[in-house]
Amino acid sequence: MERNLPKGCRLLALQVKGDQRGSLIPLERATGVPFDIARVYFIYGTQPGVSRGFHAHYRLRQVAVCVAGSCTMILDNGRDRTELHLDQPDHGIEIGPMIWHEMHDFSADCVVVVLADGPYDEGDYIRDRAEFVELAGIG
């Protein structure tokens, strides 16, 4: 599934534990999350045809996991742009700082869990694509 991801992104194979009762995927530094988790949020109930994201962060690191359904994530570091279909709860995508990301094509049952290494900080967002391109040094 990992294919030409932009520098600053990495596909993470998450550790699945389970038996005849079902499966469990622990999300913590000890099991592959590459940072201490300071915030967790869920994206769900996205209406058909709606897209989300359209921003980058100066400093924040995140891991996104599609725990139900599916969506398409576009990841762009200003030089390399990749489209990735997320549909497996045992895979996460690490999104580093200065990665423009967009989410499209949400299935009706899509639930994305996002782990972040810091609390919400509006000042850390880059919401203007032209500003991002300039900051990334490609404008």
**pLDDT tens digits for range 48-100:** 899 999 999 999 999 999 999 999 999 999 889 999 999 999 999 999 999 99
Per-residue pLDDT, averaged over 91-120, amounts to 97
- Is 74 inside a domain boundary? yes
Q: Which pLDDT score, from 0 to 100, does residue 84 have?
A: 96
- Is 1 inside a domain boundary? no
Query: Distance between CA 127 and CA 55 in Å, rounded?
Result: 5
Burial class for 114, CB neighbours closer than 10 Å (0-12, 13-18, 19+):
middle
Whether pLDDT at 14 is above 80: yes
For residue 128, the domain's CATH number is 2.60.120.10
Q: Any bridge partners for residue 66, and if so which?
A: 112
- Is 2 inside a domain boundary? no
Query: Distance between CA 4 and CA 19 in Å, rounded?
Result: 34
- Is 63 inside a domain boundary? yes
| Residue 98, domain extent | 9-135
Q: Check 55, 57, 91, 101 and give the catalytic one.
A: 55
- Is 3 inside a domain boundary? no
The number of folded domains in the chain is 1
Per-residue pLDDT, averaged over 110-117, amounts to 98
- Is 4 inside a domain boundary? no
Whether pLDDT at 139 is above 70: no
- Is 48 inside a domain boundary? yes
pLDDT band at 137; cut points 50, 70, 90: confident
Q: How many CB atoms lie within 10 A of CB 30?
A: 7
Residue 91 annotated to the active site: no
Condensed to tens digits (0 to 9), the pLDDT of residues 21-34 reads 999 999 998 888 99
pTM of the full predicted structure? 0.92
Q: What is the mean pLDDT of the chain?
A: 94
Alpha helices in 13-127 (DSSP H): none
Residue with tokens 């469990």: 24
Torsion of CA 73, 90, 60, 85, to 10 degrees: -10
